[in-house]
Amino acid sequence: MADNKKLVAEITSMDEDFTQWYTDVCIKADLVSYSNIKGCMVIKPAGYAIWELIQKHLDARFKATGVQNAYLPMFIPESLLQKEKDHVEGFAPEVAWVTHGGLEPLAERFCVRPTSETLFCDYYKGEIHSYKDLPQVLNQWCSVVRWEKETRPFLRSREFLWQEGHTAHATFEEAEERTQQMLNVYADFLENDMAIPVIKGQKTDKEKFAGAEATYTVEALMHDGRALQSATSHNFGDGFAKAFGIQYAGKDNQLHYVNQTSWGLTTRTIGAMIMVHGDNSGLVVPPKIAPIQVVVIPIQQKKEGVLEAANKIAESLSAFRVKVDDTDRTPGFKFAEQEMRGIPVRVEIGPKDLEAGKCVLCRRDTREKIECAIEDVPAKMAELLDQIQNDMFQRAKAHLEAHTFAAHNKDEFAENFKETNGFVKAMWCGCRECEDKIKEEFNVTSRCIPFEQENLSDKCVICGQPAKKMVYWGRAY
Amino acid sequence: MADNKKLVAEITSMDEDFTQWYTDVCIKADLVSYSNIKGCMVIKPAGYAIWELIQKHLDARFKATGVQNAYLPMFIPESLLQKEKDHVEGFAPEVAWVTHGGLEPLAERFCVRPTSETLFCDYYKGEIHSYKDLPQVLNQWCSVVRWEKETRPFLRSREFLWQEGHTAHATFEEAEERTQQMLNVYADFLENDMAIPVIKGQKTDKEKFAGAEATYTVEALMHDGRALQSATSHNFGDGFAKAFGIQYAGKDNQLHYVNQTSWGLTTRTIGAMIMVHGDNSGLVVPPKIAPIQVVVIPIQQKKEGVLEAANKIAESLSAFRVKVDDTDRTPGFKFAEQEMRGIPVRVEIGPKDLEAGKCVLCRRDTREKIECAIEDVPAKMAELLDQIQNDMFQRAKAHLEAHTFAAHNKDEFAENFKETNGFVKAMWCGCRECEDKIKEEFNVTSRCIPFEQENLSDKCVICGQPAKKMVYWGRAY
């Protein structure tokens, strides 16, 4: 077990230093490595394989709602970025500028896309002429660049991977419907595939996307009680259409501006997965997005029949993503590695098990060990992976609920954020001043105005004026 | 049929102006649109769906040989690009330079990756320590930027999509084996999925990749007789390893440099597909990579039972990628659109067919019409799509063979390139002077030294000195 201890000992405990624990897991589970390009990371095969499964699940959901994929250029000429006033103010301070092509200076500088609203507007202007050309429901999977000062693997990096959907509709109502539909797609994906429970709601005006009429969000709670915005969906109304002149001839033969939306989910979802499910032994990956769902580990593999039996078990599990670890390292090392990488189930099979016609299934999430007859493994595994997926969601949901507090007045609000992190639900008058004050006094931000409202009192916890909405507040990544 | 004529009339005939025909097909088949970013294109849903199928087929082949996907940053610091001398000379004149991050000038400028050898070297230097860390067999799907002066959709654009594989091995022999293995993967994919026959061979020193010891290529022949390099695979030996200091401790406890390879295939493959298979009615897409394989077109769809029958046929074809065109346009328009978009089979079903319990299958490639009992459609379709895939390959192969000429001396060489394009096979002494002379006199380049050599004579067709190799020459895209 010496190897085992060595591998595990290198992770900081999450209770001791959550930030360091997070970084340790990212590195030790082989998800990322730092590159020589400041603020940019290398996504290693174990990390990228998770992203591929996220893409697969999400893309299938998108296509089921009529989304088509496309690819637009990665560069935005400065004049194009500047067409929508709020948008350029939001993004110009954090873009990377290309000034030279080959040996020649460019006549106009380009930025590398931080997001592609302006490019899609430019494209839609050429494509949309009549109501028959609507709706346009496109998405692209790509990388974007935002010149962040402080960076952390997956959570904040200068380049990251994402998908960005951009749609154009005849009416505001249709755009609103698509905006909320995609928010529901994200919530469904996060809860059912990533086992991450979310709060669905609307961003306040202060927190909404640059150029949006309304921004919706799904907010998740990490193990340390901090919030993470996990995906957003924006209704632009006709603001971009007016800035870019995107009009269509309606059935009434009049010209109308289109109404647009955009919605995105990024590689930071992997960060959320780590911080919602991980523990002091490393990653815990939900079965549906685990690149390897089962690892079969032979014990005393040189003993007659053991390796053969391990391979046979793996073959019987061909309906799952399975591998056999037949390397010449010790079983203890292999166990620790399976735990570090968060593989949902390991199967242990040694000479004594083989004699008894059975093996041991060990769950990553609970460490529970289950004896199982070799011939029953495939049926048991299907059941077990479902159980793990479901239990992981339920545990995360219990954690979210246990760290959500109601504050009926300013004292309770202060009390909650003194003690711990978590979500605090509180009534709000709707004014920017109170929102700014909360940020200033407690260093927390409004996470969302949840769709599921409760009436905690009639008054804003800050100013005491009549309350308009209940808001979730928290410290966010 | 007025609509039909109108749609088709907008394409230039390929015999009249092949270049214009190509552009017309790209635009009219809705594959791309020009963007306001000079030299960059928008890949529209119909084009991107083909790329998604190319990715799917090729990625599965890669993974079957042990390739893992990863993602490296899109930026290369200037100092990193400069580490390998030949490489920087090859690429520095055509990269886009980022000089500002947000409002601040960068301490060192970055280029947007034109290819990622230098980034992978930098990464491997940190990952590889012992022979146990080898081989490393990574690939990434991404976009790259090369600041080209003249651009054309898919064939040459400032930004394009591709995959780039980068591997590191203990020995030159292992690297060579991987280099050739991946060339064979490309050839297999191009011939079996894209129905594009290729010549496999090695590039001359003049034409090889900047920094490579050996470059292998698969060369295809377009309908106009011009060649298109369809994928390449490079063996770098230890050149990059020496420049970047990538060493491993061997079993002998000594330090050794690794040996590296890289290999890539780009969206220009879509251009090859257009120019190998297309005709004067538009695209012809091979069934295996056709986003829609079958379109069912109801005739007089308002007549009782017609639309219902069309939908039933489509349901019976759920093993294929199928759609029903039930829009309110004329059948003639729908036929022309199916032809323009290159959908392999259309099914026509009208009131009379319905009465007789049959329908008509119409092949896009040959326009052959086949009557078929409605209940036999699924079985017939499987057979027909296989047949089309196979026939398309055979026709392209016959075209390649009919446009490949043997030149036994300089006069025959000159004669062939006066008359027509195509491949000309000729003996070569192996010297750069003769290669340059051929370029100068005939405006053709060496395409490859094919693996399948023939002995056409003992002398170089240019200088008359003893011949070393038979070479394929041609005019290339």
Same domain assignment for residues A184 and A250: yes
Q: Which of A99, A144, A39 is nearest to B99 (CA)?
A: A99
Statement: residue B141 has pLDDT above 80: yes
List of E strands, A239-384: 247-249, 255-257, 259-266, 294-298, 322-324, 345-349, 358-363, 369-373
DSSP-derived secondary structure letter, B468: -
For B409-445, write each residue's pLDDT tens digit.
Answer: 999 999 988 867 899 999 999 999 999 999 999 999 9
Pairwise CB contact (< 8 Å): B102 & A94: yes
Stated as kind and residue range, the H or E segment containing B349 is strand B345-349
Q: Which of B363, B194, B366, B191 is nearest to B288 (CA)?
A: B194
DSSP-derived secondary structure letter, A459: B
Of A93, A97, A143, the CB nearest to B98: A97
Q: B255-257 and B259-266: which strand pairing? A: unpaired
Give me A460's structure tokens.
């804003």
For B36-93, write each residue's pLDDT tens digit.
Answer: 888 899 999 999 999 999 999 999 999 999 999 999 999 999 999 999 888 888 888 8
Q: Specify the CATH number for the domain of residue A455.
A: 3.30.110.30
Task: Name the minimum distance, in Å, from the CA of B234 to any CA of chain A.
Answer: 22
Site of tokens 């990653």 = A283
Number of domains in chain A: 3
Residue of B nearest to A43 (CA): B71
Q: Give which of A36, A267, A292 to mutate to test B binding, by max B Cβ within 10 Å.
A: A36
**Is A347 part of any domain?**
yes
Question: Which structural domain range is residue B464 located in?
Answer: 404-474
Same domain assignment for residues B259 and B172: yes
**Predicted ipTM?**
0.95
* pTM: predicted TM-score of the whole model, two decimal places: 0.96
Count A/B contacts: CB-CB distance under 8 Å.
144
Distances (CA, A) of B175 to B62, B70, B186, B299: 16, 20, 17, 58
Chain B residues touching A75 at Cβ < 8 A? 37, 40, 96, 159
**Could you tell me which residues come within 8 angstroms of residue A56 by beta carbon, excluding any fewer than 6 positions away?**
none
Same domain assignment for residues B324 and B410: no
Pairwise CB contact (< 8 Å): B37 & A76: yes
pLDDT at B87: 82
Statement: residue B306 has pLDDT above 80: yes
Same domain assignment for residues B162 and B301: no
Pairwise CB contact (< 8 Å): B143 & A142: yes
Of B35, B45, B100, the CB nearest to A69: B45
Task: Name the minimum distance, in Å, from the CA of B98 to any CA of chain A.
Answer: 4
Residue of A nearest to B47 (CA): A70
Pairwise CB contact (< 8 Å): B40 & A112: no
Residue of B nearest to A111 (CA): B98
For B382-411, write each residue's pLDDT tens digit.
Answer: 999 999 999 999 999 999 999 999 999 999
Q: Which of A130, A138, A231 is nearest to A186 (CA)?
A: A231
**Could you tell me which residues come within 8 angstroms of residue A377 by beta carbon, excluding any fewer than 6 positions away?**
A313, A316, A317, A347, A359, A361
Domain boundary among A250, A277, A304: A277
Task: Name the minimum distance, in Å, from the CA of A223 to any CA of chain B.
Answer: 27
DSSP string for residues in B278-300: -BTTB----GGG-S--EEEEESS
Whether the upstream peptide bond of residue A135 has omega within 30° of 0, thus cis, is: yes
Residue of B nearest to A89 (CA): B102
Same domain assignment for residues B378 and B427: no
Same domain assignment for residues B194 and B57: yes
∠ CA(A241), CA(A246), CA(A250), 5° rounding? 110
Same domain assignment for residues A144 and A36: yes
Q: Specify the CATH number for the domain of residue B37.
A: 3.30.930.10
Characterize A149-160 residue by residue with b for buried, 16 or more Cβ atoms within 10 angstroms of its Cβ, and e for exposed: eebbbbbbbbbb
pLDDT at A7: 56
**Is A284 part of any domain?**
no
Same domain assignment for residues A195 and A323: no
Domain boundary among A277, A308, A341: A277
Same domain assignment for residues B298 and B386: yes
Chain B residues touching A145 at Cβ < 8 A? 74
Distances (CA, A) of B348 to B89, B286, B314, B332, B375: 57, 20, 11, 11, 14
Chain A residues touching B144 at Cβ < 8 A? none
**Is A72 part of any domain?**
yes
Domain boundary among B277, B308, B339: B277
Q: Give which of A54, A98, A106 to mutate to test B binding, by max B Cβ within 10 Å.
A: A98
Of B43, B51, B98, the CB nearest to A98: B98
Pairwise CB contact (< 8 Å): A42 & B123: yes
Contact B286, B347 (CB under 8 A): no
**Is B112 part of any domain?**
no
Pairwise CB contact (< 8 Å): A112 & B112: yes
Q: What is the mean pLDDT of residues B258-271?
A: 98
Q: Give which of A27, A32, A37, A129 to mutate to test B binding, by max B Cβ within 10 Å.
A: A37
Same domain assignment for residues A140 and A51: yes
Pairwise CB contact (< 8 Å): B159 & A75: yes
**Is B173 part of any domain?**
yes
pLDDT at A8: 54
Of B98, B126, B145, the CB nearest to A96: B98
pLDDT at A2: 43
Pairwise CB contact (< 8 Å): A72 & B35: yes
**Is A398 part of any domain?**
no
Q: Own/partner pairs for B244-248, CB < 8 Å, 24+ apart?
A: B244/B83, B244/B84, B244/B118, B244/B121, B244/B122, B244/B124, B244/B125, B245/B125, B246/B121, B246/B124, B246/B125, B246/B128, B246/B168, B247/B128, B248/B128, B248/B129, B248/B130, B248/B131, B248/B133, B248/B134, B248/B170
pLDDT above 70: percentage of residues in chain B:
98
Of A40, A98, A103, the CB nearest to B73: A40
pLDDT at B4: 47
Q: What's the start-to-end Cα distance of chain B, in Å?
A: 37
Instruction: Classify B326 as helix, strand or coil.
Output: coil
**Is B430 part of any domain?**
yes
Report phi then psi at B449, rounded to 5.
-95, 100
Instruction: Classify A87 as helix, strand or coil.
Output: helix
Pairwise CB contact (< 8 Å): B36 & A97: no
Chain B residues touching A72 at Cβ < 8 A? 35, 42-43
Q: Give which of A30, A54, A95, A97 to mutate to test B binding, by max B Cβ within 10 Å.
A: A97
Chain B residues touching A291 at Cβ < 8 A? none
Of B36, B76, B102, the CB nearest to A147: B102
Pairwise CB contact (< 8 Å): B68 & A75: no
For A453-466, write each residue's pLDDT tens digit.
Answer: 999 999 999 999 99
Q: Specify the CATH number for the domain of residue B372.
A: 3.40.50.800
Of A101, A126, A161, the CB nearest to B33: A126
List, for chain A, all residue ranges whose pLDDT scores fall below the cut of 70.
Answer: 1-9, 419
Same domain assignment for residues A167 and A297: no
**Is A377 part of any domain?**
yes
Please give the mean pLDDT across all residues of chain B. 95
Pairwise CB contact (< 8 Å): A35 & B119: yes
For residue A145, what are the β-bridge partners? A159
For B105-123, write each residue's pLDDT tens digit.
Answer: 999 999 999 999 999 999 9
Contact B293, B322 (CB under 8 A): yes
H-state helical runs in A67-163: 78-81, 85-91, 117-127
Statement: residue B1 has pLDDT above 60: no
Same domain assignment for residues B259 and B303: no
Q: What is the mean pLDDT of residues B235-252?
A: 97
Q: Which of B390, B394, B408, B462 is nearest to B431 (CA)?
A: B462
